[in-house]
Amino acid sequence: AQQSLLGNDQSTLAEVRDPFRVREEIRAAHIPDLKIRRSDDPPPRDGQWLIKPLRGGGGRGVAIWDEAAMSSATLREPHYFQQRATGETLSAVFVASQDPLQVRYVGLTRQLIGIEELNAPAFHWCGSIGPVALETRGEILTRRTGTVLAHRFGLRGLFGCDFVINSDGEPLLTEVNPRYTGSVELLEVLCGATLLE
């Protein structure tokens, strides 16, 4: 028997998983962002960029774009380049509905990335700690990013946005996860609610 699938449909997923479409909408909303480049327009291999698979997740295939990355398996699959940023890595969770459009900000967690003691390779997600609070401008930009993405792409249900916080306290979007994310369970415990409901 056919069952209803909660969350986003195939066309929405394809759109929001396109980093170039996402950056276009983020820039149109005047939200600070990271530069990206297509695979046929590689940046200098100077360590200032990351190579990322277009169909990645959890940090798989992400590497610093330098001479050593020329042997990366990611070069053999669809990929792109993203400006490298340093700072705290955070993940925000949102719940959206479309009729009418309503976006609820659930919370923010710190991502544990590439922790050697947890045997995690570089850039691989290995857990979350939270909740995390930002200064007012960072909080506003985080919430605004989720609202803009839900509105422009028609996102519904649970979704997450990953950020790097720059030296000015601005959250720079690194990835959109249009699904139940790794930090949902942590936030459920903290807020005493079942977010799928």
Q: pLDDT tens for residues 66-115?
A: 999 999 999 999 999 999 999 999 999 999 987 788 999 999 999 999 99
132, 186 Cβ separation under 8 angstroms: no
Length of the chain: 197
Report d(CA 59, CA 67) in Å as an integer.
Answer: 20
d(CA 77, CA 61): 10
pLDDT score at 57: 81
The pLDDT score that the predictor gives to residue 55 is: 87
Confidence of residue 38 (pLDDT cuts 50, 70, 90): very high
Give tens-digit pLDDT for 128-163. 999 999 999 999 999 999 999 999 999 999 999 999
Q: Report CA dihedral (67, 72, 74, 80) to the nearest 10 degrees.
A: -10
For 104-122, how does the pLDDT look when each residue is reduced to its tens digit (9 = 90+)? 999 999 999 999 998 998 8
pLDDT, position 79: 96
Long-range pairs of 20-29 with CB within 8 A, sequence gap ≥ 24: 20/80, 22/149, 22/173, 22/176, 25/148, 25/149, 25/152, 25/153, 26/145, 26/148, 26/149, 26/173, 29/144, 29/148
Chain mean pLDDT for the chain = 93
Residue 1: predicted pLDDT: 65
pLDDT, average across residues 29-35 = 96
- Mean pLDDT in residue range 8-13: 91
